[in-house]
Amino acid sequence: MNLPTPAIVAERGAQRMPRLALILLCAAYVLPGLFGREPWRNADLSSFGFMASIAQGHAPWWAPNIAGLHAEGGPLPYWVGALAIKALPWVEPALAARLPYALILVLVLILTWYSCFHLARTEAAQPVAFAFGGEAQGVDYARALADGGLLALIASLGLLQLGHETTPELLQLLASSLFLYGLACAPFRHVKARWAVMLSLPVLAASGAPAVALAYAAVGALQCRNSSYEQVRELALWILVSGMLAALSAWEFNAWAWRVNVIVEANTALDFLNLVAWFCWPAWPLTLWTLWRWRAHWRHRHIFAPLSLALLALLTCVLMDNSDRALLLGLPAFAVLAAFALPTLKRGFAAAMDWFSVFFFSAGALFFWVYYASMQWRWPKTPLINLRRLAEGFQPEFNALALAAALAATAAWIALVRWRTARHRHALWKSLVLPAGGVALCWLLAMSILLPFADYTRSDRPLVQRFSAHIPQAVNCIAAPEESLATLAALEFRGHWPVDAQRPIAASDCDYALLRTTQAIPDGWVSVATERRPSDREDNFRILKKARP
């Protein structure tokens, strides 16, 4: 017996978001942070270091390394950046490596939209038919929900920084989104569904998440086998074959690694809840509402497919000691679940989300503009004093293009707030416009008018410049056996120094070495200087030179 769905949607509620407005919003989310910055610590810089080591011929394609230290997981994500660097020799390497990852983020947004669209087209997800007509049409309803799912993904705070990095997790996110799309479109796009599942799991395994790929294969095959759609049941075999290919690719790429690190402490559960609360906002409260209102339909594919992937992401996050990068893989599924809350959302809850977004993001935008005014016109004085206290040696810069983009984004935000609050709107996606627009606004402001400060504090370029005052360019190598991969990558790429991170300093043949100030100086070495990052308050690095007899 098919129970009536809780979705009661009139025809006017199934209006789609204007395509130009949706494209501009996606552009305002994807493009900021793509140009005009250095790779940032830690994962962003270390991943770029592996890519540059391959592209510049310092490491083999099958074994990317930085200063002799090999990368964990599969090399596929580093191949993507290295190929871009080699294909675009006239482009600055960091930007060249970042371009394909911007395209990956775009593909994640597109796949999330289509996943929600196809799931909303299934019979069990359709709204209730009215006695005298006037209900939303199936395709229009699915399109409006897909717009809401895309907005929910853009509004997710966890995707904001991690989605703009050049790290393996972004390629894993693409593979996860592709697998969700394969499950979603199976009743309507048989061939595309097979290609999607066959490609997604091997890519996921080769990008450093083979265990997640096998879990996807098991859960996906199980739900397809129990589907009421014959073409979906046929997809189960393809998923199992894809799982086998994923295991083979992980073995071939040496991507298997034990990353389970569950620490049983009193605050572990609290830390996990705090992480989910901000990382998955605003999708998680909408997801809970979806699970409650659609509780009688949870076995249907439009709920169970994204729910299973979201639960796997939560479980992986817990097993990896509350890793936010593991939780990242569940954001598309959370966004799709959040979209199905929109047809049943109470007006009071929607109004609360709107006003919270208006005040929160408007206050954030005002904060950015106050600091920008202080940097450019020295008024008010306190913000600039605070910035220079946080980052010694920082000097503000003026960029007319960045100012124009920030002004345009602020004007668009004011227009969006006025549109949303002027009168009642009936479109299903209306409640997620302000959260998504506010996230895009603050990200654009941070990556335009405040980018010089962010780049100065988050990159290692100022640190390498300080090292250059004490280390000549023509040295045989620098010994740095206990430094982070990000620091080693900065020394190799930005400083152009050969680095030895495998042998202890005492046994190294290098002329210079880096040592933490808390460590004792080995015999045969003398201290030349101590330096620190501009954003650190203590001397972190001691520069050593080999004592000559």
Q: What is the mean pLDDT of residues 153-180?
A: 97
Which among 397, 409, 408 has a CA at the least distance from the CA of 372?
A: 397
Q: Are residues 246 and 318 in the same domain?
A: yes
Residue 389 pLDDT more than 50? Answer: yes
**Domain boundary pick from 458, 485, 508:** 458
User: Do residues 152 and 127 both lie within one domain?
Assistant: yes
| pLDDT tens-digit series, residues 266-313 | 678 889 999 999 999 999 999 999 999 999 999 899 999 999 999 999
Residue 1: inside a domain: no
Q: Would residue 45 count as lying in a domain?
A: no
Region 383-406 average pLDDT: 93
Phi and psi for 284 in degrees, rounded to 5? -70, -40
Output the pLDDT for position 222. 94
Query: How does pLDDT run across 71-92, given as a tens digit for each residue?
Result: 888 899 999 999 999 999 999 9
The reported pLDDT for the residue numbered 103 is 98
Residues 237 and 367 in one domain: no
Segment 49-75 mean pLDDT: 92
Q: Is residue 414 domain-shared with residue 526, that is, in the same domain?
A: no
Q: How far apart (Å, rounded) are the C-alpha atoms in residues 309 and 200?
A: 14
Residues 156 and 253 in one domain: yes
Residue 374 and residue 335 in one domain: no
- Same domain membership, residue 25 and residue 95: yes
Domain membership flag for residue 4:
no
d(CA 1, CA 204) in angstroms, rounded, equals: 38
- pLDDT, residue 229, reads 84
- Check whether residue 198 and residue 273 sit in a common domain: yes
Q: Give residue-wise pLDDT tens across range 520-536.
A: 899 889 999 999 988 88
Q: Cα-flanking dihedrals φ and ψ of residue 478, to 5°?
A: -120, 125
Share of the chain above pLDDT 70, in %: 96
Average pLDDT, rounded, for the chain: 92
Position 263 scores a pLDDT of 65
The per-residue b/e assignment along 340-350, b for 16 or more CB within 10 angstroms, e otherwise, is bbbbbbeeeee
- Name, in order, each residue with C-beta under 8 angstroms of 544's C-beta and a sequence gap of 6 or more: 505, 512, 513, 514, 515, 521, 522, 525, 526, 527, 528
pLDDT of 136 over the 70 cut:
yes
- Which of these ranges, 394-398, 441-445, 518-522, has the smallest mean pLDDT? 518-522
Please identify, among 400, 430, 458, the residue that sits at the C-terminal boundary of a domain: 458
Give the type of residue at 467: F
> In 3-state terms, what secondary structure has residue 42?
coil
Is a pLDDT exceeding 70 seen at residue 2? no
Q: Which amino acid is at 268?
A: T
In eight-state DSSP terms, residue 543 is E
Q: Above 70 in pLDDT, residue 177?
A: yes
Domain boundary among 438, 458, 478: 458
8 A C-beta contact, residue 52 and residue 492: yes
Residue range(s) defining the domain that contains residue 482: 461-546
Q: HEC states along 173-241? A: HHHHHHHHHHHHHCCCCHHHHHHHHHHHHHHHHHCCCHHHHHHHHHHHHHHHHCCCCHHHHHHHHHHHH
- Residue 146 within a domain: yes
52 is a domain residue: no
Query: Can you tell me the distance from the alpha carbon of 14 to that of 508, in angstroms, rounded to the nearest whole number?
Result: 68
502 and 538 in a single domain? The answer is yes
**Bridging pattern class, strands 541-546 and 512-516:** antiparallel
Q: Are residues 365 and 324 in the same domain?
A: no
**Domain membership flag for residue 415:** yes
Query: Closest Cα partner for 409 from 95, 32, 110, 98?
Result: 32
> Which residues does 404 contact at the CB level (< 8 Å), separation at least 6?
none
The pLDDT assigned to 43 comes to 93
Domain count, the chain: 3
Domain assignment of residue 63, yes or no: no
- pLDDT of res. 266: 64
